[in-house]
Amino acid sequence: MEDALVDKSVDKEFPVFSPGLEGVIAATSSICDLSDTGDILYRGYSIQDLAKNATYEEVAYLLLLGKLPNRKELKKFTSELARKRALPDGVASIIHKLPKNSHPMDVLRTGVSLLGLYDGKHQETSKEANLERAKNLIAQVPVLLTDFYRYARVLKSIGADKTLNNAENLLYMLTGKHPNDLSAKVFNVSMILYAEHELNASTFSARVTASTLTDIYSTITSAIGTLRGPLHGGANEAVAKMLLEIGDVSKAEAWVRAALSRKQRVMGFGHRIHRTAEDPRSAIIKRYARELGENTGKTKWYDICTAIEDEMHKQKNLYPNLDLYTAVVYLLMGIPIELYTPIFVCSRLAGWSAHVIEQQENNRLIRPRSIYTGPKNLQYLQLDERS
């Protein structure tokens, strides 16, 4: 039938409408706990511990399978992901025919959709089948991204390095150089912090899509198109552009005041969920941004950010979110700004996939209602009777 299963539940009264579904519960989930204490927990584990100790693979395993892997399981999972990186020939050849000026987010949306066409069993939606495809996507999407990027910039094409883990290999394929230990660590931390965040818009879109029991490629394609918007994944790119515009710490305070006085939103601050306290991810990435700045002898971006942070706290009582200091980290690593949101995609794939699996394991079609506010019972007039 068109869009729903019949069920036996009685008709309920419509609750009060909450714009943007703010505060509305849309799922039960055992993946991410945005706890009242201000911490974020993935499957019960604090992101403080995960960021400090784990690789992205470890976190992806945790999100997808619900437990931390032991040494043997992690080794197997890590080498499995490393082996799965190659793109199907058909996909690789199409990626190299796209307009070079394409936005990488559009390329990823198209590329993930294309990957579905080259997977003969993509319509299977069992937990095992979804899990297998989630691993493929976590392995292949970074290669989609770097392959397109190097082709678009007419850089020498680089194959994946099987000895590197996911974060290291992504940095390597972007820059063409093996990252040093600090860069690899910080990049890995940023991928862990971006890996999951409950029912944010892109994850929710993936779950809505998944709820028709469609294939996982469709769900991740939805999520990428949703993350692409400036109110979601685009924010870390906007922060970097702001930092470049400000250019010097001496100008930060005045820049913020001027922006606020013309009602311009200052990016990298505030969060619908982390409203009354700092985004716990911000403190983590801030420490690494500082360390990376000191290590590279370029503290300028970090200093501008702390000045902005002070002023925003004074003027608006707002706290930074994850995007503010992540932009510092990516600027210091020399990552092109238009790749920030695509890197967010590479990271969030683990969370999205975990939600798709969870949705389809205990599925119910997501089909809300709207309140009709238009005209009623208009009389249909024949063409020549209309004004």
Interacting residues with a copy of itself between 201 and 230 (CB under 8 A):
201-202, 204-205, 208-209, 211-215, 217-219, 221-222, 224-230
Q: How far apart are CA 288 and CA 302, in angstroms?
A: 10
Binding flag, residue 78, a copy of itself (CB under 8 A):
no
Figure out which of the listed residues 275, 294, 314, 334 binds a copy of itself, where binding follows CB under 8 A: 275
**How many residues belong to the site for a copy of itself (CB under 8 A)?**
133
Residue 166 tokens read as 């996911």
Catalytic site residue from 147, 215, 271, 279: 271
Binding flag, residue 370, a copy of itself (CB under 8 A):
yes
Q: How far apart are CA 321 and CA 47, in angstroms?
A: 15
Interacting span for a copy of itself (CB under 8 A) from 67-75, 128-136, 167-175, 293-301: 67-75
248 is catalytic: no
Instruction: Tell me how far CA of residue 54 lies from CA of 137, 208, 270, in angstroms.
Output: 20, 31, 27
Of 160 and 335, CB closest to a copy of itself = 335
Binding flag, residue 378, a copy of itself (CB under 8 A):
yes
Strands 40-42 and 45-46: antiparallel
Q: How far apart are CA 151 and CA 87, in angstroms?
A: 15
Provide, rounded to whole angstroms, the least separation between the CB of residue 82 and a copy of itself.
Answer: 18
Q: Which amino acid is at 305?
A: C
Of 69 and 142, CB closest to a copy of itself = 69
Of 82-141, which residues contact a copy of itself (CB under 8 A)? 90, 93-94, 97-99, 102-103, 106-107, 109-110, 113-114, 116-118, 122-123
Binding flag, residue 277, a copy of itself (CB under 8 A):
no
Figure out which of the listed residues 85, 185, 271, 290 binds a copy of itself, where binding follows CB under 8 A: 271
Q: How far apart are CA 373 and CA 375, in angstroms?
A: 7
Binding flag, residue 387, a copy of itself (CB under 8 A):
yes
Residue 17 tokens read as 């409408």
Binding flag, residue 70, a copy of itself (CB under 8 A):
yes
Q: Which amino acid is at 251?
A: K
The candidate with the shortest Cα–Cα distance to 205, out of 32, 21, 4, is 21
Q: What is the DSSP letter of 100?
A: T
Name the helix (H) or strand (E) containing 101: none
Binding flag, residue 15, a copy of itself (CB under 8 A):
yes
Q: How far apart are CA 68 and CA 192, in angstroms?
A: 14
Q: Which amino acid is at 158?
A: I
Q: What is the DSSP letter of 337?
A: G
323 is catalytic: yes
What is the set of active-site residues? 271, 323
